Chain A
Amino acid sequence: MYAQLVETGSKRLKTLEEMSPEERAFQEKVDAETKIEPKNWMPEGYRKTLIRQISQHAHSEVVGMLPEGNWVTRAPTLKRKLQLMAKIQDEAGHGLYLYSAMETLGADRDEEIEKLHQGKAKYSSIFNYPTLNWADMGAVGWLVDGAAIVNQVVLQRTSYGPYSRAMIRICKEESFHQRQGYQILLDMMREGTEEQKAMVQDAINRLWWPALMMFGPHDDESPNSQQSMAWKIKRKSNDELRQMFIDQTVPQLEFLGCTAPDPDLKWNEETGHYDFGEINWQEFYDVLKGNGPCNRERISTRKKAIDEGAWVREAAVAYAKKQKQRAEAA
């Protein structure tokens, strides 16, 4: 999940009777699974919530390039290097695509990016963890893209048309990334040296819990979920999504021949799901507040890129202006 704790601005749900006629018509449309399009009337809270969620999602794609950029110059083979480059390129594309979807709501990309650089906008907490060995490129693809897909598959049915369509397109590419990530790990576990196998287990040990945190706090700690669910921006709760992810991931973990750093992880015959241990929520909130291992580096790298690129963008604008004037004069 690339959006965590998205503020909706509402403390409790309004009943249909309490709504204005416009709000009621809107809610009925949402309830009937009709997509909301940019030109349709929508409650201000819905619009703002979507801007927050989509921008968080877009920021996550962009910041998410950094932990991979950390290894793209050190990828071990031509094939892996090309795969990683293609993945990073896709992510830049997803970022662009999502910012465009966000702009259909009247938000401005530069303004939202400025909020990110000022520390006022969030992005997925997972990207504040460092990538310390090559197997992290596999584990990020498998676990992080895997967790994102669980969420995004559901978001394909989100009520806002442009966001839903962005998700459909993005999901296809993400599942490709996930398979590639898993393959990196599988190849190392099957044919690798002991050192390579140790890299894989080390990557899983470090990224397992942060991946589970991607789904956000427990449902009863998630004050904005109820409104987001009513608006069908969100379609499944954090805990439901997390359980889905665990259930599909543990067999893959076992197939790799690796373990999770969770002694409480075990199959529960009665529920038909895996039980798992409690997430370290203190760590989760610390990272969200800016106190993760790489928060400062991620934001300062992004800010530096945009700040130092200002003269380039200014030149492009000035040149386009001159070209336009020349065309008009001719």
Chain B
Amino acid sequence: MTQSEALKEYLLRLADSDMILGQRLSELCGKAPALEEEMALMNVALDLVGQARNWYEYAAELIDDGRDADKLAFRRDAHDYRNLLLTEQPNEDYAVTMGRQFFFDVWHYFTLKSLSEANDERIAGVAAKALKEATYHLRRSSEWVKRLGDGTEESHRRMQDAIDILWRFTGELITPDETDELMAKAGIGPDPEQLKNDWHGLVSEVLAQATLTPGAEDAWMYMGGKHGEHTEHLGFILAEMQFLQRAYPDAKTW
């Protein structure tokens, strides 16, 4: 794999993860537990899809095969999607929604922090703006994990269940493959070892404050999203998300 191949791959991972998590959050429209949460969920979803658009645009320029950002988002099938498996997991209850968000936000925050200092100006620029948003996302989801973990007996049980359900998808966030390593070496992506330590450090800290128990560091991890091998959920997400583009392939504008 060349560095330029790795970069395209890496941009699609960033874009697809943002896009799919934004899609999951927007499924909750009108269904949040309070009006304030309604606003916040849509706000986070909006940030993520906005970031996805920026990454897709850059990816489309580099891929340079005539596809634009919309084509990348709405005309690729699941095996071409590169999102983290965590992001495609269903919303379930608010504990799972927030647990998923928290694990993602910790990864996203440290990743963007590193990308904002990338020696690729375009990436550094997009990441710097995204980092501001992700900082808020992380603060919010950390607070919710603490509230639910250290709230009532029921919320504690639900939040711990959520951690247990989602834990197996977290390995993928911090287990580097060739692409991640090439990006680190190129001075773009985060140092894998550092990212892993940062992620575990912050997750342990917040879960401890939330009176929650993390999964084992050596637990079995479900991986494959970064290579296009997804859980069964992604096919359905795309069937819904890409419906119009697929049903009306001749439409040039919307």
> Which residues of chain A have a CB within 8 Å of any CB of chain B?
62, 65-66, 68-69, 72-82, 85-86, 88-89, 92-93, 95-96, 99, 134, 184, 187-188, 191-193, 195-196, 301-302, 304-306, 308-316, 318-320, 322
Contacts and interface: CB of A to CB of B under 8 A. Distances in A.
A134 B35 contact: no
Nearest to B48: A85
B121 interface: no
B53 A82 contact: yes
B198 to A, nearest CB: 26
A315 B151 contact: yes
B161 interface: no
B49 A85 contact: yes
A80 B148 CA distance: 34
Chain A interface, DSSP helix/strand/loop, else mixed: helix
B52 interface: yes
A309 B94 contact: yes
Given A76-B245, A82-B46, A316-B147, A302 B30 contact: yes
B27 A134 contact: no
B33 A69 contact: no
13 contacts: A62-B38, A73-B26, A76-B254, A85-B42, A89-B39, A92-B39, A184-B254, A192-B253, A195-B250, A309-B34, A312-B37, A315-B154, A316-B151
B56 interface: yes
Interface in B223-254: 240-241, 243-245, 248, 250-254
Nearest to B45: A85
Nearest to A195: B248
Interface in B197-242: 240-241
B135 interface: no
B254 A315 contact: no
Given A309-B94, A311-B154, A319 B254 contact: no
Given A77-B70, A134-B254, A69 B52 contact: no
Contacts of A310: 33
B27 A73 contact: yes
A88 B43 CA distance: 9
Nearest to B32: A305
A95 B32 CA distance: 14
Contacts of A76: 74, 244-245, 251, 254
A312 B253 contact: no
Nearest to A317: B151
Contacts of B50: 82
Contact of B31 (A187, A304, A315, A316): A304
B23 interface: yes
A309 B244 contact: no
A65 B29 CA distance: 7
Contacts of A75: 244
B181 interface: no
Nearest to B19: A78
A59 to B, nearest CB: 11
Interface string B71-101: 0011000000000000000000110000000
A184 B253 CA distance: 10
Nearest to A315: B151
Nearest to A109: B35
Given A86-B46, A89-B43, A74 B31 contact: no
A311 B36 CA distance: 16
B75 to A, nearest CB: 11
B2 interface: no
A95 to B, nearest CB: 6
A238 B162 CA distance: 51
Nearest to B248: A195
A80 B26 CA distance: 14
Contact of A311 (B42, B152, B253): B152
A142 to B, nearest CB: 16
B124 interface: no
A78 B53 contact: yes
Question: Lowest 10 A-B CB distances belong to which pairs?
Answer: A309-B33, A315-B151, A69-B29, A315-B155, A76-B244, A312-B33, A92-B39, A76-B254, A89-B42, A319-B147
B146 interface: yes
A85 B49 CA distance: 9
B39 A312 contact: no
Contacts of A88: 29, 42
B150 interface: yes
Interface core residue of A78, A88, A191, A193 (most chain B CB under 10 Å): A78
B152 A314 contact: yes
B158 interface: yes
A316 B244 CA distance: 39
B30 A301 contact: yes
A93 B30 contact: no
B69 interface: yes
B74 to A, nearest CB: 7
Given A191-B252, A193-B248, A314-B151, A306 B46 contact: no
